[in-house]
Structure 1
């Protein structure tokens, strides 16, 4: 049985799952759908309401954390036991970055439907056609679900910067990896969930080029790219995003 990854393809949590599966060398088929449409396909698979979800011979995994653990047991080698507590702590911080990154992005996208159309252009064409007349309703629903107020990105920038301060401090000694002497789930989680903030060219989804984003988004992305954490994420993408341990 080929693994099936149910996703919203531009989701950074789905990027986290893709990276882990590819690092383990696990073949999979990605079934990507737009928000709201994904509920139907998840329900058919018994996967709950969120993505990513992974359909495996052993059952359905319903979030990116479980998918990383699955990939680890199949060769990804992401959780060295001697660093388990440190990795868990850093994963939790990365997850907080992921939540604020999503809110930051939606606070811009939900008021710029032309840009939103570009962001989703690699999703299912039928779903794109069905969704575009209802972008207003979609924006309202996503805003409510993720507690996002369109145009109020500064709050999330502040939270992101506070978390990046912590990673900047950790990286001040020039370490190659966040924990120990090799790539772990801490590195993968930070890079995948923070990647949307620096737009690395190796990212697993083709976002619009930087010049297509509004001035405020470009300014934030440029600032984050220049910080130690941003440079570290870009380096991880360059050297590890398409590296398999299989």
Structure 2
């Protein structure tokens, strides 16, 4: 099956574009508390230096919350993506004016990441890679209203926002220095400035952007989906694992009281909705092995280049991050959205500790059913598994963002 390019699928709504340079925005990330796609979106927003409040839901309970949000923003159901066909999928980034006026919704964690990077790069205190935003784009990014949903879309929005307001942090380097918007034609631009619902594609240029974009899209459609399928297959039938995961990570007293019902409904419905069964889980395990084979080879190439002294030594010496730096990353000597994606989406399957992922509790490898535990341990010991663990240790979110109870 042909894979769509990032340029074909990641379009930022006109309303979201016009928020990129607006000061004092209030951001709310609506997410499922235990979702690895939502973890990726949180990570991108934090790396971009964008303050936000997280609104947490349990699985299935999020549907009513996202529908309420869509009505508040006068926005229809979300579009289907590679990782979810649901019109109420999370994460969704809600953008408000300083006065609390609903402006825009951005869905898809990757686009949210791109928005954050562009948003961060237009404030007066840029510390990172020089951005490349055309003057026409900056003139075009005026205050307006908008929702951003889907972890990939959110990631790209975060990158754009970081670039647009020049935030300190590493948000601007998530996609390389050339992330920008493909503006509509002159006539469409006039319509959009007047409030049209047209959209702009988030694009980039150069080998770094191409590498990051291809890996990011691959991860959304393979690693993220198969991790979810395999983990749910083994956890949902076991109350002491999935039930405890739900209740321990409920964000309110009401959520905690309703968590047994949420768990039972999830156990009944999710296997049907997501095609989760023994056969698909076995196939998912095989695909995860294949994905780890691929990323092991990518990391080996980067390791060889680092050992040969190509750029890595200079980049490491110049890096001023207090959180440290890994010797190499998936796309070269700099941390990018591809690294955040593989670590965020692969954290569960290699047993990243609950505390590092911002969870109150999640089962460790020792708690898992024997077959799953052995599988997770085998992935954990591979180069990609070790890279994911190091990503969480060195670059994982260290500061807790504000959380609103849903």
Query: Which TM-score applies when normalising by structure 1?
Result: 0.91
What is the 5 A alignment of 1:1-246?
1-46=25-70, 48=78, 49-57=88-96, 58-60=103-105, 61-75=148-162, 76-77=171-172, 78-80=174-176, 81=178, 82=206, 83-95=208-220, 96-120=222-246, 121-124=248-251, 125-133=253-261, 135-149=263-277, 153-173=281-301, 174=303, 176-201=328-353, 202-206=356-360, 207-242=362-397
Output the CA distance in 1 between the equivalents of 2:330 and 2:261.
Answer: 45
Output the CA distance in 2 between the equivalents of 1:163 and 1:149.
Answer: 20
Deviation at 1:243, TM superposition (A): 6.7
Consecutive unaligned residues in structure 2, runs of 5 or more = 1-24, 71-76, 79-87, 97-102, 106-147, 163-170, 179-205, 307-327, 400-406
> How many residue pairs were aligned?
244
Q: Greater CA deviation, 201-210 or 79-88? A: 201-210
Partner of 2:12: none
Q: Is the 8 A contact 2:59 2:262 kept in 1?
A: no
Output the CA distance in 2 between the equivalents of 1:134 and 1:14.
Answer: 19
Deviations 1:143-194 (A, max 9, x none): 1121101586322110100111111111113150111320111111111011
Deviation at 1:56, TM superposition (A): 1.0
Q: Show structure 1 runs of 4+ deviating over 6 A.
A: none
Output the CA distance in 1 between the equivalents of 2:32 and 2:263.
Answer: 16
Question: Which structure would you say has the larger RCO, counting Cα contacts within 8 Å and 6 or more residues apart?
Answer: 1
Q: Greater CA deviation, 146-155 or 91-100? A: 146-155
Output the CA distance in 2 between the equivalents of 1:53 and 1:186.
Answer: 20
Deviation at 1:217, TM superposition (A): 2.1
Output the CA distance in 1 between the equivalents of 2:63 and 2:154.
Answer: 19
Q: Is the 8 A contact 1:94 1:194 kept in 2?
A: no
Q: Secondary structure at the match of 1:56?
A: strand
Structure of higher CA gyration radius: 2
Partner of 2:10: none
Q: Is the 8 A contact 1:22 1:243 kept in 2?
A: no
Consecutive unaligned residues in structure 1, runs of 5 or more = none
Query: Which TM-score applies when normalising by structure 2?
Result: 0.57
| Distance 1:162-1:180 versus aligned 2 partners, 3 A rule | same
Q: Is the 8 A contact 1:93 1:163 kept in 2?
A: no
Q: Secondary structure at the match of 1:7?
A: strand
Q: Secondary structure at the match of 1:35?
A: coil
Q: Secondary structure at the match of 2:334?
A: coil
Higher helix share goes to which structure?
Answer: 1
Deviation at 1:132, TM superposition (A): 1.4
Output the CA distance in 1 between the equivalents of 2:262 and 2:67.
Answer: 22
Q: Greater CA deviation, 132-141 or 102-111? A: 132-141
CA RMSD of aligned residues (A): 2.0
Deviations 1:59-88 (A, max 9, x none): 000111121112112331211132121111
Deviation at 1:117, TM superposition (A): 1.4
Deviation at 1:130, TM superposition (A): 2.4
